[in-house]
Structures are given as structure tokens and as C-alpha cells.
């Protein structure tokens, strides 16, 4: 029998420190730039203060991009512009430094970690550091079969928890979270539709490499069929991930929950990370307080999930490439918010101003007397 009890996360996860946030707000009101003049940067700085339990905010010095990789059997239906089972090519591009996220990470001096949970390739073709956490080779075709067995779902979830602990223990102070998958947006759409009670057409987008109308209709049909299989298991989030998720999505959900336990902030990327966040919210309602949404990817399921969690994306540049690239673009904004919050000087208090004025007046009187 499994010893994993997801209900434990409800007790383990606390909200960011509300008292510290109020202190940060009070400090912001004393700074020389009027409150509100910096727009959402004010909110970001105060959120970081609460997350760090620190006023002034500490700079973000050890961020990391963490990417969960996997292939999804549903891609065999032609729901993606990429060939089924080809996610390993995307992983290789990340490792070789030729993918968008790799270029951005070099510019921002942020390390990238890729974790294979269910790539459909020979494990010897990739470094051991990437493949050592693999749960299975490809996830099942969710329109007609479960993505994972119950044991595989638990193993993937526990892997995500362990990876969050590794990052927190190594000093990572913020994670940019993304996926490297083929067929992952279809699984994500099913999860969002199931948890939000919507139809397939409402959540089905066209993916990172926009598919044509025919492929979109195939994708809608796959989401619809998988949704029928998802609804009976909505009360059990781990079973939901096993039924219509995948090993990479189960691991990402575990990672998000344990990151919240460890008070490690996370920037979500696109629809896959948003779907996992929505599952995690069902497990522990306070968990979303530890997450930011880096960008609006344009996927309807992402918008639905973020709206349900009351999370507003920081950027809207239409970046659809995935792999954490859109979320990584938001990192400089978070860093700037931290710097402004910590480094803007405070106005002199009225008492100090009056004492300085009195000193000036006294000096003038002394000069007149002489």
C-alpha cells in the first residue's frame, strides 16, 4: 500500500508571511518614489518580501530553469506539429545550447536543468544526469488508456518532490519551471477541462508550433475522449495524473507542491506548468501563493487555469515556444522589482525634516547675533 498522502501538503504549506508583506508595504510608502508609480513592480517586490520573509528584499542570486521532459502517446493521433516521440530532439537542442531557452539562459546567466521522466528514446543517447529519473519510456495514449500505472504516477510525483528538495537544499532562490514535451499540451488541456468543468473546444489550443484546423479538430477529439476518462477520477489527484496526465506532469505537480513547502518561489511558463499548478491547487489551496505566471502563452487552457488560481501573467509577448522561455523572459522583471524594493531610498520623516529646518534657523540666528 502506498504511504503517499497528498492531504499532508495542505498542512505543510503555509502562505507567504503576511506580516512581512505589510512591513514591505509600509516601507514602500516611505520611499521617495510614490506608491503605485512603479505599477506591478510594487506588488512584485512586496510578494518577494513575503516569500523571503525579509524586508528589505534580498536580490535573486541563484535562480535556475528546471525543465521536465516527456513524450505523450496521444501525439500519435497527429495532435502536434511535431512527430510523436521526438521530444528527445528538443532536449538535445537545450543541452547543445541551440534552443531559445538556452540562448536566453546564457544571456541571463541562469543554469538550466533538464529532467527526463518519459522520453521515448534510448536512454544511452542522453547524459545520465538527464535520464536517471526516467519513470517509463513515453506516457500512454490518454484517449484510450491510462498515461501511467498508479505505481508509476507515485514514482514520478515523488521524483518531483525530491528534485524540489534538491534545488532548495542547493540554495536555489527561484525556479523558472517549464516542460519539454510532444503531446504535453493535449494532456494539459484535459487536466484543465476536467478541473474547471469545461468542454474540450474551450481549452484546446494550437500548441507551440501552431497546428492547422484539421489537426486542431483531431486534438479536440482526443481531449474530449480523454476527458470522459478523467471525470470519474476527479476526486483523486494522483489518479487523475495517472489517467490523463503523464510522468512529466506528475513530477511537475510534485515539484510545485514541495517548492511551496520549502518556500521556494516558482515562475510558471505555459499551459503545461499551469495545468500542473491547477492540480496542485486542488491538493493544497495555499500553494499558488508561491507561484508567479511568467507569460501569457495564448493557449486557452493556460488562461483558464490561471484565472481559476487568480494568477495574472507578468508578460504578454505571445511567446509560444515552451521550454520555459517565456517564463525566463519574466525573470529580469522579478529581479528589477527586488532591486527597486531594496534600494530605493526612503524619504526623511517629518521629525527629521523639522529638526534639520530648526538647525538651519538656529544657525542663521547665530550669524545675525554676531
Catalytic residues: 323
- What are φ and ψ of residue 245, in 5° steps? -100, -110
C-alpha distances (whole Å) from 178 to each of 80, 101, 357 are 18, 10, 56
Instruction: Look up residue 354 and give its three cell numbers.
Output: 523639522
Q: In this structure, how many other beta carbons lie within 10 angstroms of the beta carbon of residue 224?
A: 16
Distance, in Å, from the CA atom of 227 to the CA atom of 246, rounded to the nearest integer, reads: 14
Q: Which of 188, 208, 204 is nearest to 274 (CA)?
A: 188
Q: Residue by residue, what is the 3-state secondary structure of the chain?
A: CCCCCCCHHHHHCCCCCHHHHHHHHHHHHHECCCCCCCCHHHHHHHHHHHHHCCCCCCCCCCEEEEEEEEEEHHHHHCCCCCCCCCHHHHHHHHHHCCCHHHHHHHHHCCCEEEEEEECCCCHHHCCHHHHCCCCCCCECCCCCCCCCCHHHHHHHHHHHHHHHHHHHHCCCCEEEEEEEEECHHHHHHHHHHHHHCCCHHHHCCCCCCCCCHHHHHHHHHHHHHHHHHHHHHCCCHHHHHHHHCCHHHHHHHHHHHHHHHCCCCEEECCHHHHHHHHHHHHHCCCHHHHEEECECCCCHHHHHHHHHHCCCCCECCCCCCCCCHHHHHHHHHHHHHHHHHHHCCECCCHHHHHHHHHHHHHHHHHHHHC
| Alpha-carbon torsion (314, 317, 322, 323), positive or negative | negative
Amino acid at each position: 500500500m502506498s504511504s503517499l498522502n497528498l492531504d499532508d501538503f495542505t498542512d505543510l504549506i503555509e502562505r507567504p508571511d503576511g506580516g512581512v508583506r505589510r512591513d514591505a508595504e509600509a516601507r514602500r510608502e516611505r520611499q521617495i518614489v510614490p506608491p503605485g508609480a512603479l505599477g506591478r513592480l510594487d506588488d512584485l517586490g512586496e510578494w518577494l518580501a513575503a516569500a523571503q520573509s525579509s524586508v528589505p528584499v534580498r536580490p535573486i542570486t541563484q535562480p535556475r530553469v528546471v525543465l521536465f521532459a516527456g513524450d505523450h502517446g496521444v501525439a500519435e493521433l497527429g495532435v502536434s506539429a511535431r512527430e510523436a516521440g521526438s521530444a528527445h530532439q528538443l532536449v538535445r537542442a537545450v543541452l547543445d545550447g541551440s534552443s531559445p531557452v538556452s540562448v536566453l539562459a546564457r544571456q541571463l546567466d541562469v543554469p538550466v536543468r533538464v529532467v527526463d521522466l518519459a522520453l521515448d528514446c534510448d536512454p544511452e543517447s542522453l547524459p545520465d544526469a538527464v535520464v536517471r529519473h526516467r519513470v517509463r519510456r513515453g506516457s500512454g495514449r490518454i484517449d484510450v488508456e491510462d498515461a501511467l500505472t498508479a505505481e508509476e504516477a507515485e514514482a514520478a510525483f515523488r521524483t518531483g518532490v525530491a528534485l524540489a528538495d534538491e534545488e532548495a537544499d542547493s540554495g536555489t532562490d527561484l525556479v523558472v519551471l517549464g516542460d519539454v514535451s510532444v503531446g504535453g499540451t493535449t494532456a494539459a488541456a484535459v487536466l484543465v477541462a476536467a478541473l474547471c468543468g469545461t468542454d474540450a473546444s474551450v481549452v484546446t489550443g494550437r500548441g507551440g508550433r501552431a497546428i492547422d484546423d484539421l489537426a486542431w479538430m483531431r486534438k479536440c477529439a482526443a481531449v474530449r475522449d480523454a476527458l470522459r476518462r478523467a471525470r470519474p477520477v476527479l476526486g483523486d489527484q494522483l489518479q487523475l495524473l495517472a489517467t490523463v496526465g503523464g510522468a512529466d506532469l506528475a513530477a511537475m505537480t510534485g515539484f510545485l507542491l514541495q517548492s511551496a513547502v520549502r518556500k521556494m518561489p516558482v515562475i510558471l511558463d505555459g499551459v503545461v506548468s499551469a495545468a500542473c499548478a491547477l492540480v496542485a491547487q486542488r491538493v493544497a489551496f495555499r500553494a499558488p501563493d508561491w507561484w508567479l505566471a511568467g507569460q501569457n502563452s495564448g493557449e486557452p487552457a493556460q488562461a483558464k487555469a490561471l484565472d481559476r488560481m487568480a494568477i495574472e501573467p507578468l508578460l504578454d509577448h505571445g511567446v509560444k515556444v515552451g521550454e520555459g522561455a517565456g517564463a525566463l523572459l519574466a525573470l529580469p522583471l522579478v529581479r528589477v522589482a527586488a532591486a527597486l524594493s531594496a534600494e530605493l531610498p526612503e524619504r526623511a520623516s517629518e521629525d527629521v525634516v523639522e529638526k534639520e529646518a530648526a538647525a538651519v534657523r538656529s544657525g542663521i540666528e547665530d550669524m545675525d547675533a554676531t
